[in-house]
A and B are shown apart, each in its own frame.
Chain A
Amino acid sequence: MASTELSAGLGTPITPSTGQPGIQPGRARDAAARTGVALGRLFAALRSNRKASAGAILLAFVVILAAVPGLIAHDPPRAEIYGRSLGPSSAHLFGTTVYGQDIFSQFIWGARETLIIAVVSGVLSTTLSVIMGVAAAYLGGVADSGLNLVTDTLLVIPSFPLLLIIAAYLPNSGVAVLIAILVITGYSYGARQLRAQALSLRRRDYLEAARVRGERTAYIIAVEIIPNMTPLIVASFLGIAVYNVLFSAGLQFIGFGNPNSVSWGTMLYWAQNNEALAIGQYLWALMPGLGIAILGAAFALLNYAFDEIGNPALRPVRRLRVKRAR
């Protein structure tokens, strides 16, 4: 018990001011509550920001498509039962592919996998960023330099070419591998920013107090530091989400992931392979691209709105109507 160590070291018993150190359910709950409050404040601020609203609407659109595709599109997306290369009509809103699949239902069903890839890789990337960033900030010294070197190197190496060659060694692998390589190549930017913030937070006085109380480092990190980094963590997620949407689509476009699944990226792959543009089936190529653009734009708008909230100087400025009373 830490209190015994303290008393042994200093001669007189010292009781930590808030009871026993270590994880207490009350303190953990308090930290969770603080994170919740931070998130709540964020959402309130976002609601009044026009860009955030626009981004949220776009995101909601994609989420709805992903959640209940069956309600919107009634044809099975993969069934090759329709006429081939049909143009848009009331039966097939976007036409059909060269294999006789309904493009409209592919578009609606494709939202799901694309969104899942973006969100899952975003969450994992951000988690990795948090771990790497905070660990580097906290361990300091050689560990910090080592971790930084890895992060900085990955930061400089251009991501898409790196993604390509890693994917090249793993052909015919599925979505899981796609997500894994996106996470590995994408975490570095967020890790850098989070490390910087963790470093500045680490030196604050209330953390010194926690240390003197005998709290364990892991506890301090989890309960004191991370809730205070909530805004930056959310911002990192939004930033990395844009990157993930674009690059996962890019990789699927070239044939990675699982080409037989239905997602916007794989639709593009088949469209390109069958020269959709040349044969006049524009919508086959353009609609999934539009979907990706919408999802990317949604995250980008939310991300930018975030920047504006954090830096009020960037917000749209109103011209003062100075009424001069002469």
Chain B
Amino acid sequence: MSSALADGIGQTAGTSDPILQVSDVSVDYATKSGSVRAVDGVSFDLGRGEFVGIVGESGCGKSTLLFAIAQLLSPPAGLTSGNVVFKGVSMVGMTDSQLTAIRWKNLSVVMQSAMNALNPVKSIASQYKDAMRAHGVRSKTEISDRSAHVLKMVGIDAEHLRSYPHQLSGGMRQRAMIAMALLFTPDLVIMDEPTSALDVVAQRSLMVQIKELQAELGFSIIFVTHDMSLVRHFSDRIMVMCAGQVAELGGTSRVFGTPRHPYTAGLMDAFPSIKGQRVFLTGIPGQPPNLAAKPDGCLFAPRCPKVMPACGTTSPPLYQVDGVDVRCLLYADGSAP
């Protein structure tokens, strides 16, 4: 476990150069009534071997951000500003062929439901083969050896290469998808809620497996989920998103130990601990804001238990408090209330 990074400071982290630098990325959706901003000025860096979790409600823009980073957005969504620098090269300016060269070899993707993410009419083996042949691996033995190897890494017998996705169980499918992402031992694997479709037991065993693979192969992970309790035990840093913006960003233990943004506190209160005292379950009242008609000031203000008059007019920037970035006027003068 890269515990050395567990208490990393805010945006920059780690001892080596960051493998990914996301700067002020914004994503808009084109609608009949104009553009809707789904991701608003998000910035963060990712170090080698680091595990960053992105959490938030449905619709807060976390998946959109993920696909924007991977340059996988399709119309009507588009990246309208900002930059994504991967291993020192800006991805936004790349041509299609340049992107294709790094896809999968250096940057791979794991999605939520393997049943939907794997082609139902092709066998596992042929889907692995596709990826490898697209990047110049031609030798049949090399392909089958590598396919069997990655499957073994996730604990699946190589004979399942011949199977079709619908013939595998949910957990096996998910692991087969993760194995596919590791075919070229990439530098970065981005995961969009890969455990949401599984039961609790399978979730945990999958997370443990992911962490083990990370320790063994050294890739970085961006992990999107709505389940905060899940990432708590596995991530180095946590980014909390709200209505397309970064609400809080910092080391996992610091954010969980002392949630500073009222939204973060609300999210954590929604997931009670099995141990400890019985507490009243409080959620976050109200609905996420309508992105097509954003209110002035802080986007969380209408639902915030600690709202102040200034929140309705001033859009808070990110403040640095104790090594954690927080977007809340409570910290406007640099100290905790």
User: Which A residues fall within an 8 A CB radius of B?
Assistant: 317-326
Contacts and interface: CB of A to CB of B under 8 A. Distances in A.
A321 B29 CA distance: 10
Contacts of B75: 317-320
A325 B29 CA distance: 16
9 contacts: A318-B30, A318-B32, A318-B75, A320-B30, A320-B35, A320-B75, A320-B77, A322-B78, A324-B81
B32 to A, nearest CB: 8
From DSSP, what is the main secondary structure of chain B's interface residues? strand
Contacts of B29: 320
A317 B30 CA distance: 10
A320 B81 contact: no
Interface in B245-267: none
A323 B78 CA distance: 9
Nearest to B29: A320
Contact of B76 (A320, A323, A324, A326): A320
B251 to A, nearest CB: 31
A314 to B, nearest CB: 14
Contacts of A325: 80-81
Contacts of A326: 81
B84 to A, nearest CB: 13
Most buried by B among A317, A318, A319, A320: A320
Contacts of B81: 324-326
Contacts of B80: 322-325
B70 interface: no
Nearest to A317: B75
B79 interface: yes
Contacts of B79: 322, 324
B236 interface: no
A325 B81 CA distance: 5
Contacts of A317: 75-76
Interface in B270-291: none
B209 to A, nearest CB: 35
A280 to B, nearest CB: 51
Interface in B44-101: 75-81
Nearest to B35: A320
Interface string B20-46: 000000001110100100000000000
Most buried by A among B29, B30, B32: B30
A320 B76 CA distance: 5
A47 to B, nearest CB: 14
A224 B142 CA distance: 60
Contacts of B35: 320
A317 B35 CA distance: 14
Contacts of B30: 318-321
Nearest to B80: A322
Nearest to B78: A322
Given A317-B75, A318-B76, A325-B80, 13 more contacts: A318-B30, A318-B32, A318-B75, A319-B30, A319-B75, A320-B28, A320-B30, A320-B78, A322-B78, A324-B79, A324-B80, A325-B81, A326-B81
Nearest to B82: A325
A322 B36 CA distance: 12
A320 B77 CA distance: 7
B197 to A, nearest CB: 22
Nearest to B83: A326
Contacts of B32: 318
Contacts of A324: 79-81
A16 B30 CA distance: 50
B193 to A, nearest CB: 22
B116 to A, nearest CB: 15
Nearest to A326: B81
Most buried by B among A318, A321, A322, A325: A322
Contacts of A322: 28, 78-80
A185 B200 CA distance: 53
Contacts of A319: 30, 75
A318 B30 CA distance: 8
A326 B80 CA distance: 9
B42 to A, nearest CB: 15
Nearest to A48: B32
A35 B75 CA distance: 35
A324 B90 CA distance: 14
A319 B32 CA distance: 11
A193 B276 CA distance: 54
A322 B81 CA distance: 9
Contacts of B76: 317-318, 320
List the 4 closest pairs (A to B, CB-CB), nearest first: A322-B78, A320-B30, A320-B78, A325-B81
A321 B30 CA distance: 8
Contacts of A321: 30
A318 B35 CA distance: 12
A320 B73 CA distance: 11
Nearest to B26: A325
Nearest to B81: A325
A51 to B, nearest CB: 16
Interface string B217-260: 00000000000000000000000000000000000000000000
A323 B82 CA distance: 11
A293 B76 CA distance: 36
A321 B28 CA distance: 10
B31 to A, nearest CB: 8
Contacts of A320: 28-30, 35, 75-78
A322 B74 CA distance: 12
A321 B75 CA distance: 10
Contacts of A323: 80
A323 B77 CA distance: 12
B23 to A, nearest CB: 12
Contacts of B28: 320, 322
